[in-house]
Structure 1
């Protein structure tokens, strides 16, 4: 029964028309709340206006939202920037030391949202303080109340897959969509996405500024990051069902591989299992890594940029976080053990071909991947020539002005 329920939820989530219709109905039901907040703003004179409301998933501060918030508070304190985040967390404490915050979903969040000039986020939905809706639904039902409010999609990575089903303008209504590399910008400005001229901007990811500024300051260590991305079709399964999945079994077998663990011990290399998505982070204990040479990192407790800067190699399957690592000109490899399943259940291939454009070799066999790790160690983690050429082609220019470029677009 549990698996049936999970499959049903997944089908509903992947049925975009059904999901969007339900969200639109939710927004209509909550319209009286929106009107109430709007009227309060009209009579309350002490509520700041022209707010730039910034954040990520409402519980975290580790991505482009945090990077741009830091930039505004350091370089443009005249901008009334406010970060939305859950109140009782280490991440929230960190953000409060930088600038003003509101509790995610609170009345203060609603006031800040309604009075905001810009709403900036790495994800759709989370900055909207009305239950279960995205920017599109707010704009369709309530946009006439605040016609000058703009939504800025900061992105949480380089969009490399075919996102036509979920990121077209008719579905998102984003006023600004941040892109980084030239092929990504060219893809998102194609007619099939339907964005008006000027809505797609190529400013670069805000978090890249920190990487660029610190690449020669933070010492690189003999450490490897393994960062597999999540599988959306596993989000609603139980732990018992999760450990029976191909995804869990292949990752678990790799992490417990005796040859890998002996190699790490013999070579004195630190290996971190560091999945970037919160859905797998919360299931890390299921991998039972205590008696291995594999360490784990919690995305909510570590400095993401520092973790990358200290590492010499990254392994992923399909995560766009590898673009961050390639930006540093560091060694990478792909462990794609379920390519067919991933393409059918998650994202279809887009303009980016791993075989043609990827920043490192691709493996489906864990033993071959372990051999690649040995080669990387033997070469002191140097990047092979053909992959360095691809990296340089993808990132021809490096600077620390991604935040500045975005600010200039908005101001």
Structure 2
């Protein structure tokens, strides 16, 4: 079959699917049915997970179902979570009849939102790098700057509610997403876990479950993806510029390193030369557990550092390509180099020295950290899920 024929067949399938979806959506809504999705159906994680768990515990009257990419169904099956395979016939009927959608990323534009559906968009991070309509130029594969912005705008028209972690994010979300409906400025539900489970017993239990030693400090390395480094649309390259050989030699007696790549990064790293020192947890279902067990974070421009700050633990920013990332790819919403809550370094040697400095200071954060925390984490108190659910499902907010 030619490429043209495959594209034509796919287009016809989408049109047929869309037509059936619209017909089913005309039927009465299942008023207690809530459909959840995290990172395109790849994970049981993030804000949708936190809201799911809160509803499950406090509102058993709702039917809760996950939308799941079939390639990732095992993590849902092992937990006995109710799910439907994304784009299956059953998924179509559930999505078209659901009263609520809860997701942290965009839905395909060819899936029409029914008139009876309330769409709660939780998003997935406090923004450092520019988003959507604020981006000057888009370098992602399979789209142009104009198309990307137009499609994002069309998607955001469907959102009825948008969760924001703080006032800073609310201002950006309103503008970048051109969102003019209900903003729920509640803190991020996913960070409730960091406040409610931050105790040594929970940390040790997680380390044992992950097969990690209890007698070493844990470094979490969680970088983001680069828009212009990719194999194809949705599959991004990542070069591991951090020298694990040097880190193992200098730090291996006291530390281990956990790698957590962004969900769009396609790399599978061979860490066999660093056995017992470096571990790849990129496929671990929820980064919140990796935050909790880590003594310090190494990242770059990823929004993970806003969440990790809730733990009030030290951070290092490994930004070897900051000039091109800041000036060419994305641009930042604030002076990152001045206000980052930790040192910015460009070499592995710089990373190792920063770790030594942190150790010398008994893993205390700097005074600059407090200003950062008060700006970005002031709403986080372990009850964001409750506030979000009360707003969307009960029509009232508690603070």
| Alignment TM class, shorter chain as reference | 0.7 to 0.9
In terms of fraction of residues, the more helix-rich structure is 1
Q: In structure 1, what is the Cα distance between the partners aligned to 2:261 and 2:96?
A: 35
Q: Verify: 1:340 aligned to 2:311, yes or no.
A: no
Q: For 1:60-108, what per-residue CA distance to the aligned partner results, in whole angstroms no more than 9, with x for missing partners?
A: 21222222211111111112221111456431224534xx221122111
Query: Is the 8 Å Cα contact of residues 24 and 96 (structure 2) preserved in structure 1?
Result: no
Q: Verify: 1:35 aligned to 2:22, yes or no.
A: no
Further displaced range: 146-155 or 392-401: 392-401
Q: In structure 2, what is the Cα distance between the partners aligned to 1:339 and 1:36?
A: 47
**Residues 259-408 of structure 1 mapped to structure 2, 5 A cutoff:** 260-266=247-253, 268-280=254-266, 282-285=267-270, 288-291=271-274, 294-301=277-284, 303-343=286-326, 346-350=329-333, 352-408=334-390
Q: For 1:360-390, what per-residue CA distance to the aligned partner results, in whole angstroms no more than 9, with x for missing partners?
A: 1111132122100111122231112222332
Q: Verify: 1:211 aligned to 2:194, yes or no.
A: yes
Q: State the SS of the aligned residue for 2:129.
A: coil
Q: 1:276 to 1:29 in 2, by over 3 A?
A: closer
Gaps of 5+ in 2: 1-6, 134-147, 205-215, 394-399
Query: Is the 8 Å Cα contact of residues 160 and 184 (structure 1) preserved in structure 2?
Result: no
Gaps of 5+ in 1: 1-21, 126-132
The Cα shift of 1:312 comes to 0.9
Q: For 1:93-150, what per-residue CA distance to the aligned partner results, in whole angstroms no more than 9, with x for missing partners?
A: 24534xx22112211111111001221111112xxxxxxx33xx54xxx45xx22323
Query: Is the 8 Å Cα contact of residues 150 and 175 (structure 1) preserved in structure 2?
Result: yes
Q: In structure 2, what is the Cα distance between the partners aligned to 1:171 and 1:160?
A: 22
**Residues 5-404 of structure 1 mapped to structure 2, 5 A cutoff:** 30-39=14-23, 48-56=30-38, 57-87=40-70, 89-97=73-81, 100-125=82-107, 133-134=108-109, 137-138=110-111, 142-143=112-113, 146-165=114-133, 169-170=153-154, 172-173=156-157, 174-190=159-175, 193-196=177-180, 198-217=181-200, 218-219=202-203, 222-236=217-231, 248=239, 250-251=241-242, 254-257=243-246, 260-266=247-253, 268-280=254-266, 282-285=267-270, 288-291=271-274, 294-301=277-284, 303-343=286-326, 346-350=329-333, 352-404=334-386
Q: In structure 1, what is the Cα distance between the partners aligned to 2:309 and 2:340?
A: 10
Q: For 1:33-73, what per-residue CA distance to the aligned partner results, in whole angstroms no more than 9, with x for missing partners?
A: 33334545768x9x945421111121221222222211111
The Cα shift of 1:263 comes to 2.3
Q: 1:344 to 1:106 in 2, by over 3 A?
A: farther
Number of residue-to-residue matches in the alignment: 352
**TM-score calculated relative to the size of structure 2:** 0.78
Query: Is the 8 Å Cα contact of residues 128 and 301 (structure 2) preserved in structure 1?
Result: no
The Cα shift of 1:299 comes to 3.5
Give the structure 2 partner of residue 19 of structure 1: none
Q: For 1:336-371, what per-residue CA distance to the aligned partner results, in whole angstroms no more than 9, with x for missing partners?
A: 011233235542212x33223311111113212210
Q: 1:328 to 1:82 in 2, by over 3 A?
A: same
Give the structure 2 partner of residue 7 of structure 1: none
Q: In structure 2, what is the Cα distance between the partners aligned to 1:119 and 1:237?
A: 29
Query: Is the 8 Å Cα contact of residues 252 and 277 (structure 2) preserved in structure 1?
Result: no
CA RMSD of aligned residues (A): 3.0
